[in-house]
Amino acid sequence: MATQYELMSLFADGGWMMYPLVLCSLVALGVIIAKFWTLWIAHHGTSRVLLEVEEAALAGDLDKAFEIARDTPGPAAAILLAGLRRIRNGTLTQGELETAVATVGTIELGFLERGLVILATIANVAPLMGFLGTVAGMILAFAAIEEAGTVEPTLVAGGIKVALLTTAAGLIIAVPINIMYNFFVTRIDMLIVDMEQGAQKIINLAWDMDRDGKIKIVPAPQKR
């Protein structure tokens, strides 16, 4: 309970700048939780779906491969699903599959990166807001000294303490957000590799099936 009162006292001493800093921390916390869940779902089962879809497709059961990709969440499964939709038609034009896979990959990547701009912005802005609060506190401290007419150690020390609280708060918010931002970027890079593997598998599958006569890849129509 004493710790709670101390935190509330520090918050009150920090002045009005503590309110936007707390708001930034709450927004960042919400984004971090959402990104954790999104990236976990996106990565979960990726290796399994790549293997099972390839096995089912090579066995000639495109319907089963389609169902596996459809029922598995994640960007790699979405790429496989987009490719299987076109392979099931039986006839493909050259470049059609690559274009479809690239389009889905771009959409999925945009979804994975959603929210990172917010984290990056808060990580950059929070220390600046803290410094702004410090400057404002120092101005108020010197104004109090000017009004008092004398420089008392307790007056100066108290003003400086209050001024530095916002800087400390801004850094405390920014440091973990920067760590989480870099962690999410690393996870997204891993998912991009998974997406590239899925794209390569579905393209290789199409060419293998064309070679075996199971589907037909025809030249793209010439533009006039």
How much is the average pLDDT of 175-188? 94
Structure token pair of residue 88: 């099931």
Residue 220 three-state SS:
coil
* Predicted pLDDT of residue 156: 66
Q: What is the pLDDT of residues 94-142, one digit of tens each?
A: 777 888 888 888 888 888 888 999 999 999 999 998 888 888 777 777 7
How many helical (H) and strand (E) elements, i.e. helices and strands, does the chain have?
8, 2
Give φ, ψ of 91 to 5 degrees: -135, 130
Q: Which residues of 29-61 are buried (b: 16+ CB within 10 A; e: fewer)?
A: eebbeebeebbeebbebbeebbebbbebbeeee
CB 181, CB 123: distance < 8 Å: yes
Q: What is the pLDDT of residues 89-100, one digit of tens each?
A: 777 777 778 888
